Each structure stands twice: as C-alpha cells, then as structure tokens.
Structure 1
Amino acid sequence: MPDLPDLSGLIKAYDVRGVVPDPFSPEVARAIGAAFADVVVLPGASGPGRATAVIGNDMRPSGPDLVTAFADGLTRRGVDVILIGLCSTDGLYHASGALDLPGAMFTASHNPAEYNGIKMCHAGARPVGEDSGLAAVRTLAARYLAEGLPAEVAVPGTTENREMLAEYATFLRTLVDLGGIRPLKVVVDAGNGMAGLTVPAVLGTAAGLPELPLDVVPLYFELDGSFPNHEANPLEPENLRDLQAAVVEHGADIGLAFDGDADRCFVVDELGAAVSPSAVTALVGLREVARELEAGRTPTVIHNLITSRVVPDLLSGAGATTVRTRVGHSFIKAEMAANDAVFGGEHSAHYYFRDFFFADTGMLAAMHVLAALGTSTTPDGRPVTMSALAEAYEPYVASGEINSRVDDVPAARARVVEAYVTQQGAGPVEVDELDGLTVSHWDDHPRWWFNLRASNTEPLLRLNVEAADEDVMVKVRDDVLALVRQGTMVASTQPEEG
C-alpha cells in the first residue's frame, strides 16, 4: 500500500486553502471532489432523483480549472453537478439552502492571488468542518491520490449550468426592505472581489430588480483575482484607506467594504472612520431581536468571545438570550442551529442569520445597516448620521487583535496566568478558558477584560483587550504584552479573519 500524502496543510479544520498549483492542483481538486461525493453528497442523498451538488467560484484565475477537476471527481462517483459560476460565498450558501443541496465554493477569501481554496457545506448550507465531514474528506482524498480514484460508476453524473444571481438578490430583498428609506449616497469598495458582481445585483438594478434610493459610488468593481489595487481584506486598516478617502471626497453617508469572496462587510461612517464589527453586531442584532419579539418569539443571539461587551449588554437588555461561543464560523453556525438563534456576529465582520440558512452573509448585514441609517432621525426629525448612529454601539475602548510571535507559547501564557490569576494583583477577576484565557474585571471599577488565545498553526499569541476607558485599556494591553513578549524580540500585529 503506497504512503498517503499529507493533506493537513491544505485541508484544514474549516476549509481547503493553499497555493496553486502546489500543493493545490487540479489533480488534488479531483481527488477532493470524489471524496466529497463519498463522504458528504452520497450519504446525504435522499428522496427521488439522483445525488446532486452545487458548485460556485470567485474571480481567481485558477478557479475554473479547479472547479472542472472537482466536478469531474463528483461525476465519476455518480453525482450530478450544478455549476452556478461566478458568485460570492454567501451566493453559494444561498444556492445550497434554496436548492437543499450540498455545495462547494472555490475561494481563498482575502488571501493573495496565488491562493485558492474550497468552502464546503452540507445540504441547506450546513457547514462541513473537521468534525462534520472534513477530516474524513481529507483522509479519503489522500487515499485517492495515492491509489487512484475508484473505477467510474456505471452511470456517471452530469453537469449543468444554472444562473442564480437574480434569485440570490431577490431573496435578500425579501429579508430587508430598503424601498422606503431616505436617499443615501453609498461608497462601496469591492476590492476587485465578488462584491463587484453582487452589489449591482442586490443594491442596484443589474438583476432586474426595482431601483432603490441608493446612489452607489463604486470602487474597484472590476473582477480581478490579482487584486491590483489592494488586498481584499478590509480587516487590515490600510485596505480601508481608499474607501475612507472616497467617502469624504464624495460627501457620502456611508462606506461599505467587502472582502474577496464578499461574505464579510465592513462599515465606514460619513467622516471616514471605521465602525467596529461589534457595533454592527449590536445594531443588526437589535433589529433582529425587535422583529422576533414583535412576532411573539423569544430571541437568541450568538456572539463570539472577542466581540465587545456592548453586544450582550444591549441585546440582553432588549430581551434576547445571548450565547457566547469560541472564535470561528463552525462554532457560531453550530450554536446558531442548536439554539435556533435569529442572529450571530463575530469580531471579524462575519454576520449570521437564521433567515439565511444560519449562514453568514455580509450583504444582508450591510442591508440592515443601510435600513437603520435610512430610517433613523433625531428627536427634531433630522436624519441621523452614521457616526452618530454608531456612537450608541461603541461605548467602550478596544485594542483590536494584537498578535505576538513568541519563542515559548506555554511559558508566555503561564506568565500571564501567574500575574493575573494566581497572584490576582489586579484584584478579584473572573477567569474562563472557553477559547484561550479570558480574564475579566468587568463587575468592578476599573472595568476591563482581555482574551489571550494561541494560534493553532503558528507560535503566536493573540491578545484582545477592552475597557470602559482608553487609559485603562492601554495599561492592561501594555502590561499583558510585556508579559507575553518577555525575552522575545519579534512581534507581529497581523490580525486573524476569524
């Protein structure tokens, strides 16, 4: 029996992600497609008709060849394939949910041009993660690469092309009504990613939908997987600078920035200042909570442990049950489904909706923000600005995620535990280890908390700090960083997507 190739660096805990063509080649994509058929599609097929899967891809040049190979792996195992072509990741989730079929989205999100990847889901857009099929796909794909694919089935699957952009846009329009808002000027930075396709369809008339009271100023709408203008990762502040400048230049009411596969959305106010994803989580969450209460239902909202304390404060005060989870979309989606949660949010600008198959969609979150901005007024009837609207949801001061590359992760963590937990030099604190180490001094003054998490793949410790005022946040941040980086010369500040 030949040695099996190690695919652990390519097929990770939540998705497939790697450089094309080495290690991510069409041959590997074909093996993954056959394994996806055997692990996910065929066992999940039920009812009349043949087993079927839906596939989409973003604008990366390597996408079509990889999709063709992946689809070949599926059809060789007897699975029919629906190709929806260019789409955003949430467009693929919509297709999986609307058609009730397993799906695969070819994207590397915000990664550089030489990368590509696959985000897989079960029927109904339910995630395929390490414990829900991806580990088995990895093992079987390695076997198929070493031994060859099984003999083609007697009746191989077929492929068909289907356009679903208009259905996606129509579906989103049914979830948030933007027809009655005041006219807004909106600058959108698509970063040469898939928002260049989806924004004109959803917020414009490209999909044949009625015109909305939105004057959209486009930035980098040309689909170009080489990302000639800036990285399609709005989590990095430098990638927001063009949008911030354009909002001020055009006198716009708001700016929106999407990542490469357009499943995350970031907001900039009329002054060019970035609005934190936690503030967006609170804003959108309150809208969804109010809708649930009006329908006579008890709302539940999910948030990860890095989001601001304003999220549970405001949402629980509004009548919602809030559930705190680990960082990562697989944990959020699992809790969303388990709790029948109406909404979920992460610090990385992923927003999840029960009405969108419990999946994440940056476009729907953007529509909620536009609806809130376009209907909010001051007590004397004047329109509320985005900066004023956001201010209500940003009462605390956060450090943002700060990554430190250290020589010895356990030793660095132990120093923090000794200082803040064992000695309790800062006074009584609450401690939990749901995801890394969270130390909280929130029930007494001065109010602060921090979370310290280790990377799964690198010798990094990720620090997030929040406090009721900036001086306290800076002191806690600097004190913890000094402990973490003691004796370490190299430090990194690259944030993680989540």
Structure 2
Amino acid sequence: MTSSQPTANSATVDLTGLVKAYDVRGTYPDQFSVPVARALGAAFADVVVLAGTSERPAIVIGNDMRPSGPELVDAFAQGAADRGVDVVLIGLCSTDGLYHASGVLDLPGAMFTASHNPAEYNGIKLCRAGARPVGEATGLVEVRTTAERYLAEGVPTTTDRGQITQRETLTDYAVFLRDLVDLTGSRPLKVVVDAGNGMGGLTVPAVLGTEAGLEALPLEIVPLYFELDGTFPNHEANPLEPENLRDLQAAVVEHGADLGLAFDGDADRCFVVDERGEPVNPSAVTALVGLREVAREKAEGREPTIIHNLITSQVVPDLVQAAGGRTVRTRVGHSFIKEQMA
C-alpha cells in the first residue's frame, strides 16, 4: 500500500540544470533544495535500487564537509526510506571512501559533494552496487524524470518503510588503501599536504597517519588547511587552478619536503608538486602509476589494462603499451571511466 505526500507545488519542475551527464550538481538552495533531495532519493530508490534486487533493498550514503550536506543527506535518505529502502549513513568521507563502502557492502551509493566547486554548490555522485556508475546512459536520466514527477505529484510512501542506520567505515577504507601500496619499506619522506579544508583533512591522517589506529609509516606529514570547512576560507579546493597551489609550493620549499600533495574538496583528485615546488604534469603521474600496475598485473599472471581519458598525453598509452599493457581511452568524466572498469 502506498500514499503520496507532496514535496513541492504541483507546477512542472525541470531538473535538467541540476542533473548533469554523470552527476547531480547545482547551487544550494535555489537549484538543489531539501524537497529536490528527497525526490531524488525516492527516484534513485525506484530506478536503481528496487529495480535491481529481489532482496531487502538498501543503499549507503556519505557526504563531504559542505554546510548544506547534512540536511540534504537526511532528505535524500528519507525519500529512499519512503520507498521501502534501508539506508546506511557513513557520514563524512571522501568520494572514493563512499565507493569503497559501496564495494565492500555491495550496495548502491550516493555521495553528497560538489567536488572542487565553490561553497555555494552541492551535488551527488550516484553509483550502483560495487561502485558501478550511474550516468546519463545508465539510469540518471530516468532518476531525473522520476524526481521531477515526484516533485509535482508527491513522493509515494510504502507501509514497509526503510530503516536508517549509521556505520563507521573510515578504518576499513584506510586499511584497503594501505594494502594497495606497501610503504613500510620506503625511505623516510617529508610530505606537505594541502587539504584545502576539504575531506583530505579527514582521510590523510587516517591513511598516511595513525588516526585510524594503523601503524606509523615512514612519512612526516606537514599539514596545510586540514580543518574541515566547506566555506573554503583559505582557497578553493581546486588544485587544477594554479593560484590554489601557491601555498603548497611555498611550504614544500620552506620545509625542505620531498613532495607536496594538493587535494580537491572530496579528496578524490590529487595534484603533485615536486621537491622544488614545481607542479608535476598529471600525465607523468598517470604514466608512473600505470607502469607500476602493469608490472603488478603481469607478475600475478593477468593481462594488464590501463584506462585513461582523452586529455591524457600520448606518452601514457605509448609507455604502457611498450611495457606490455593494453590501454583504453574514455571520455572525460568519472562515470565514463568507471563504466569501462565495471
């Protein structure tokens, strides 16, 4: 049995300016409001969750440090619960932390973040279980149109409403990342990290430090702007803009560090600065990581495949292929890369 509870007026609602090709992103609260979040939660439940399981449906939700996050998360969770979907809230996390939870728990997920956008923005990155992408070709259009209908007509609620619970996942996430690269045998390194008041301020002490209860690594971390603050009082958390790297570059030189790392707001993007304070070309980083993964996959008897987007330098596929790896080029956008990975 269902009933409808109106979430907005009955006028036709157009969410095309908010729901993009591979995520949801807009200004709060004029584009992205609490009623819109609730409608999107219900629509995500219908289109992605309920259509994809015969078991007790559930989702996992995380958010970054933006001030609008908690109430938008609550509205989205209520909308999903209205449709009979259980909700696991993991609280503050990086985007890749949410993807990790989606994989470990085998649940569809929603990460509330506007990444590197200014403070007035918020958004959602959606995924299916196992962090498989939800983009315009994999359900996001249907989520949008369903949410528009719910905003006009009301969200239908079920008698078997979903339960909302909380869960801590940061420690498991830190352990998982430590297992990807063994740093215990590294020479001692001094690393300056600019978190830009974003989620790197939470994840770096857990992964590279001892805040999650893990053993100390041979790293001396010099923190810059680790205080979580979604108003970004020091600079925008967008390391792609040169002016946002200046404090990091100066600190690397001042402290005689081996390298510097700058994270964006949801800590799923990282820019590297060398020991001279000079930016390292992202394609050079991609090539180094790619070559390492090729060697590891070959050592384990698997055919290595490296995915890169179309703005990557030709040096990357050339080096990977010369090392015996296969390369796959995708459009720019995380959902397009994840679609190939899935």
TM-score by length of 1: 0.66
Measured after TM superposition, the shift of residue 331 of structure 1 is: 2.0
Match of 1:182 in 2: 187
Amino acid aligned to 1:126: R
Q: Per-residue CA shift, 1:209-263, capped at 9, x if unaligned? A: 0000000000000000000000000000110010000000000000000000000
Match of 1:322 in 2: 327
Measured after TM superposition, the shift of residue 180 of structure 1 is: 0.7
Alignment of 1:155 with 2:160, yes or no, is: yes
- Report SS of the residue matched to 2:158: coil
- Report SS of the residue matched to 1:130: coil
Q: Which of the residues 61, 80, 96 maps onto 1:74?
A: 80
Q: Which of the residues 44, 64, 67 maps onto 2:52?
A: 44
Structure-2 separation of matches of 1:330 and 1:60: 22
Q: Which of the residues 324, 335, 359 maps onto 2:340?
A: 335
Amino acid aligned to 1:301: I
**Mapping of residues 6-45 of structure 1, within 5 Å:** 6-45=14-53
Alignment of 1:5 with 2:13, yes or no, is: yes
Alignment of 1:293 with 2:301, yes or no, is: no
Structure-2 separation of matches of 1:3 and 1:277: 46
Match of 2:94 in 1: 88
Structure-1 separation of matches of 2:334 and 2:62: 20
Q: Which of the residues 225, 229, 233 maps onto 1:224?
A: 229
Q: Which of the residues 99, 104, 119 maps onto 1:113?
A: 119
Q: Which of the residues 55, 63, 66 maps onto 1:57?
A: 63
Match of 2:6 in 1: none
Measured after TM superposition, the shift of residue 3 of structure 1 is: 4.9
**Mapping of residues 211-250 of structure 1, within 5 Å:** 211-250=216-255
- Report SS of the residue matched to 2:155: coil
The RMSD of aligned alpha carbons is: 1.1
Match of 2:3 in 1: none
Structure-2 separation of matches of 1:268 and 1:314: 22
Alignment of 1:206 with 2:214, yes or no, is: no
Measured after TM superposition, the shift of residue 173 of structure 1 is: 1.0
Give ranges in structure 2 of 5+ residues lacking alignment: 1-9
Amino acid aligned to 2:61: I
Structure-1 separation of matches of 2:254 and 2:102: 40
Q: Which has the larger radius of gyration?
A: 1
- Report SS of the residue matched to 1:132: coil
- Report SS of the residue matched to 1:121: strand
Give ranges in structure 1 of 5+ residues lacking alignment: 338-498
Aligned residues: 334
Q: Per-residue CA shift, 1:431-463, capped at 9, x if unaligned? A: xxxxxxxxxxxxxxxxxxxxxxxxxxxxxxxxx
Match of 1:122 in 2: 128
Match of 1:396 in 2: none
Amino acid aligned to 1:313: D
Structure-2 separation of matches of 1:204 and 1:156: 41
Structure-1 separation of matches of 2:225 and 2:338: 31
Measured after TM superposition, the shift of residue 23 of structure 1 is: 1.4
Match of 2:5 in 1: none
Structure-2 separation of matches of 1:190 and 1:147: 42
Structure-2 separation of matches of 1:324 and 1:35: 32
Alignment of 1:166 with 2:171, yes or no, is: yes
- Report SS of the residue matched to 2:265: coil
- Report SS of the residue matched to 2:307: strand
Measured after TM superposition, the shift of residue 264 of structure 1 is: 0.3
Structure-1 separation of matches of 2:328 and 2:163: 43
Q: Per-residue CA shift, 1:300-348, capped at 9, x if unaligned? A: 11112211111011111100111222222222222223xxxxxxxxxxx
Structure-2 separation of matches of 1:160 and 1:329: 28
- Report SS of the residue matched to 2:40: helix
Measured after TM superposition, the shift of residue 175 of structure 1 is: 1.3
Structure-2 separation of matches of 1:328 and 1:70: 24
Q: Percent identity?
A: 77
TM-score by length of 2: 0.96
Structure-2 separation of matches of 1:247 and 1:46: 53
Measured after TM superposition, the shift of residue 44 of structure 1 is: 1.5
Measured after TM superposition, the shift of residue 4 of structure 1 is: 2.5
- Report SS of the residue matched to 2:221: strand
Structure-2 separation of matches of 1:207 and 1:18: 33
Alignment of 1:131 with 2:129, yes or no, is: no
Structure-2 separation of matches of 1:92 and 1:297: 28
Structure-2 separation of matches of 1:326 and 1:32: 26
Amino acid aligned to 1:240: L
Give the number of the structure with larger relative contact order, counting CA–CA contacts within 8 Å between residues 6 or more apart: 2
Q: Which of the residues 266, 277, 283 maps onto 1:278?
A: 283
Q: Per-residue CA shift, 1:187-214, capped at 9, x if unaligned? A: 0000000000000000000000000000
Structure-2 separation of matches of 1:252 and 1:193: 22
Q: Per-residue CA shift, 1:112-146, capped at 9, x if unaligned? A: 11110010000000111001110000000000000
Q: Which of the residues 260, 263, 270 maps onto 1:265?
A: 270
Amino acid aligned to 2:113: T
Q: Per-residue CA shift, 1:327-382, capped at 9, x if unaligned? A: 22222222223xxxxxxxxxxxxxxxxxxxxxxxxxxxxxxxxxxxxxxxxxxxxx
Amino acid aligned to 1:141: A
Match of 1:310 in 2: 315
